[in-house]
Structure 1
Amino acid sequence: MSESDFLPVIDLAPAREGKFAQTGQAIGAAFSRSGFCYIRNHGVDEALIRAVHDEALDFFHAPMTEKLTCKPQQAVRGFNALNRTTMQGAQNPDYKEFFQIGLDLPADDPAVLAGQPLRGPNLWPENRPAFRAAMEAYFEAIGACGRVLLQAVAASLGIAPDFFAQKYDRPLQRSQAIWYPPHPADRLADQFGVAPHTDYGCITLLWQDETGGLEVQDLTGTWMAAPPIPGTLVINIGDLLSRWSNRRYVSTPHRVTNRSGRERVSLATFYDPDYDAVIDPRDLALPVSQVPCDPPVLAGDYIIGRIRDSQKARSTEAPAPRRV
């Protein structure tokens, strides 16, 4: 299979004009084959992307004492230092730093007061208003892109275009600016920027700089480069959408190997449903002859469990996924 077949470039413009079936057909083919594609005409302003890149890079170059003022608390927001995450099955922590934001909820919001994981206010470094403004604007713009994309996904599955919107009232969207420093000369052979893994949630929207390093595992187990293509975002599905689609769509292993000798920046958004959204494959137009491959679970329980696994810090805040 050629790279263009395995990682096709799909035009999102028809979906942004309300023509979901046209885009959905292409997305359905890509997600059933590899779970990955690129999208162009995504609607996120390139000047905004560049502003986030530049402000994030300036932040990552700041002294560690400044960055650690935004050390994550209960909502997994803020600055995450090197060695914070270890993918399941990996021997070494990921060699990256990242800054994460989500839906900004005040401390007195009922979900926050109830101790719901992944909920809370965002954390921001002092004296960096431009960084905050850029990140917040990007959060909104990439979320709007995600909403359109899910309408096309719904069309691809033969369900109403607004199906997913009903599950995204207060979504568990997490947007990250990620910095991959140059690997040291004596790095271990199994040291990755991000070790091989599948994503946890529904869809991921990724912008990557010109450095490259993203690789996707094809159907034969071979690692295939997913190089940056100007004007596009990389899209892939996660385990929740694979479960939801009754495995019709593939959640594919991928990794980052930064062999460039230069630093690398990417912007990753995990666009996931409400915490209490029920992920039940029976809702997504299963053929009569099919039975569900997986039991229903709550989206938030599943995602926080996977996050805690990656951080090697399970606690009472990380309940096992509940069958519902």
Structure 2
Amino acid sequence: MSAIENIPVVDFSSILAASSADMKTLPAMEELRLAISGIGFVFLKNHGIDRKQVDDVFSSSVEFFSRPEVEKRQFWRQDGKSNHGYTCMEQERINPKNPGDLKESYDLCEKGMEDPVEIKETVTDLYDAFTTLTNKILESFGHMLDLQDPQFFMKAHNKMGLGYKENYTALRTLYYPSLPSSIDVKPGQLRCGEHVDYGSLTLLFLFQDENGGLQVKTRTGGYIDVPYMPEAVLLNGGALMQQWTGDKIYAAPHRVLVPDDETVKERVRQSIAFFVHPDNEVLVETIDGSNKYTPVTAQEDTEKRFLYSYDIEL
């Protein structure tokens, strides 16, 4: 394991290639455990996802987000219980204490929806690749926590594939538009307010992130910048997984700042996130029997968090 500005980097190739029986003793497993239980974020290199699939989604996303607002709103995500569709500028308030976030996004969770053709044509293969990687990570978590059934977490995510309505897992393409000086940025407004992610875990690809902005809050309360590693995927734990594991997997707060530099501020920023959730009916209770957190179903937890984050009346 190596570290770049305090975000650990783990070579995932040995875990990806190992059988379940051989996985636990791999050195990379201990590196992964230390990272995900410590700072809560880790770069995975040699993760098995084709970067061309990622770049194709980035390119198609630019085509969609460059459309006039009236066209994008035909795909608007308006239902507070939905996890599919377009979110416009300032509609999402991921930190309810702040003004609406200065970003746009498109979430893909269900099949059969009327999606933009630009995005629909590129997303399926990447969604499947994310699902394959996620299953291996979930199995890794089972081993690192010495669960009697290492596939316990995998079995709780049976319906995270694209097209299931019984699971809130979604691929989100994020677009942070140019912010010229003519745009009025409100006091306390960020591109994405401080938050911890919902659900089990998040996988994130960054694009053009030499522009910067993503920061992770450390255990001591300070923030560190997340560096740009275009060939790696960034993994972090979700709030529900922290609850499930009795804090053995940590969900770290993070945010995306509005740049101070006017030149950088006018650049577009993009990322792709895969937000992983257990199946809706799964009852999440601490696996160590400590009752540290109140049991909750995955559906109840997610829908409650949606209500905190979205301005449905916008």
TM-score by length of 1: 0.84
Q: How far off its partner does 1:182 sit?
A: 2.1
Distance 1:124 1:103, change over 3 A: closer
Q: Secondary structure at the match of 1:9?
A: strand
Determine the structure 1 residue equivalent to 2:37: 32
Determine the structure 2 residue equivalent to 1:245: 245
Q: How far off its partner does 1:206 sit?
A: 0.4
Determine the structure 1 residue equivalent to 2:307: 308
Letter in 1 for 2:119: F
1:264-283 aligned at under 5 Å gives the runs 264-282=269-287
Kept in 1, the 8 Å contact 2:206–2:271? The answer is yes
Q: Secondary structure at the match of 2:158?
A: coil
Letter in 1 for 2:190: F
Determine the structure 2 residue equivalent to 1:123: 114
Q: How far off its partner does 1:90 sit?
A: 2.6
Q: For the residues of structure 1 that align with 2:59 and 2:312, how far apart are their CA atoms?
A: 32
Q: How far off its partner does 1:103 sit?
A: 3.9
In structure 2, the gaps of 5 or more residues are 161-167
Q: How far off its partner does 1:5 sit?
A: 7.7
Q: For the residues of structure 1 that align with 2:256 and 2:98, how far apart are their CA atoms?
A: 15
Kept in 1, the 8 Å contact 2:205–2:230? The answer is no
Q: How far off its partner does 1:170 sit?
A: 1.1
Determine the structure 2 residue equivalent to 1:96: 103
Q: For the residues of structure 1 that align with 2:178 and 2:155, how far apart are their CA atoms?
A: 42
Q: How far off its partner does 1:302 sit?
A: 0.1
Q: For the residues of structure 1 that align with 2:100 and 2:283, how far apart are their CA atoms?
A: 32
Kept in 2, the 8 Å contact 1:194–1:255? The answer is yes
Determine the structure 1 residue equivalent to 2:165: none
**CA deviation profile, 1:196-240 (whole Å, cap 9, x unmatched):** 011111100000112332100112211100122121011111110
Distance 1:53 1:5, change over 3 A: closer
Q: For the residues of structure 1 that align with 2:303 and 2:243, how far apart are their CA atoms?
A: 16
Q: For the residues of structure 2 that align with 1:294 and 1:88, how far apart are their CA atoms?
A: 22
Distance 1:193 1:203, change over 3 A: same
Letter in 1 for 2:157: Y
Determine the structure 2 residue equivalent to 1:318: none
Q: For the residues of structure 1 that align with 2:146 and 2:4, how far apart are their CA atoms?
A: 25
Determine the structure 2 residue equivalent to 1:115: none
Q: How far off its partner does 1:87 sit?
A: 2.3
Q: For the residues of structure 1 that align with 2:185 and 2:76, how far apart are their CA atoms?
A: 26
Q: Does 1:214 align with 2:206?
A: no
Q: Secondary structure at the match of 1:236?
A: strand
Q: Secondary structure at the match of 1:62?
A: coil
Distance 1:6 1:293, change over 3 A: farther
Q: For the residues of structure 2 that align with 1:82 and 1:89, how far apart are their CA atoms?
A: 15
Distance 1:123 1:305, change over 3 A: farther
Letter in 2 for 1:223: Y
Q: How far off its partner does 1:272 sit?
A: 1.1
1:136-215 aligned at under 5 Å gives the runs 136-159=124-147, 160-171=149-160, 172-185=168-181, 186-211=184-209, 212-215=212-215
Kept in 2, the 8 Å contact 1:180–1:258? The answer is no
| Greater Cα shift, 155-164 or 266-275 | 155-164
Q: For the residues of structure 2 that align with 1:180 and 1:72, how far apart are their CA atoms?
A: 18
Determine the structure 2 residue equivalent to 1:20: 23
Aligned residues: 288
| Greater Cα shift, 295-304 or 82-91 | 82-91
Q: For the residues of structure 2 that align with 1:187 and 1:258, how far apart are their CA atoms?
A: 9
1:45 alignment partner, one of 45, 50, 53: 50
Q: Secondary structure at the match of 1:192?
A: coil
| Greater Cα shift, 87-96 or 77-86 | 87-96
**CA deviation profile, 1:71-100 (whole Å, cap 9, x unmatched):** 125423111111111123432111100011
CA-based RMSD: 2.0
TM-score by length of 2: 0.86
Kept in 2, the 8 Å contact 1:192–1:256? The answer is yes
Q: For the residues of structure 2 that align with 1:98 and 1:308, how far apart are their CA atoms?
A: 17
Determine the structure 1 residue equivalent to 2:163: none
Letter in 1 for 2:178: P
Distance 1:4 1:92, change over 3 A: same
Kept in 2, the 8 Å contact 1:175–1:267? The answer is yes
Distance 1:83 1:256, change over 3 A: same
Kept in 2, the 8 Å contact 1:6–1:33? The answer is no
Letter in 2 for 1:84: Q
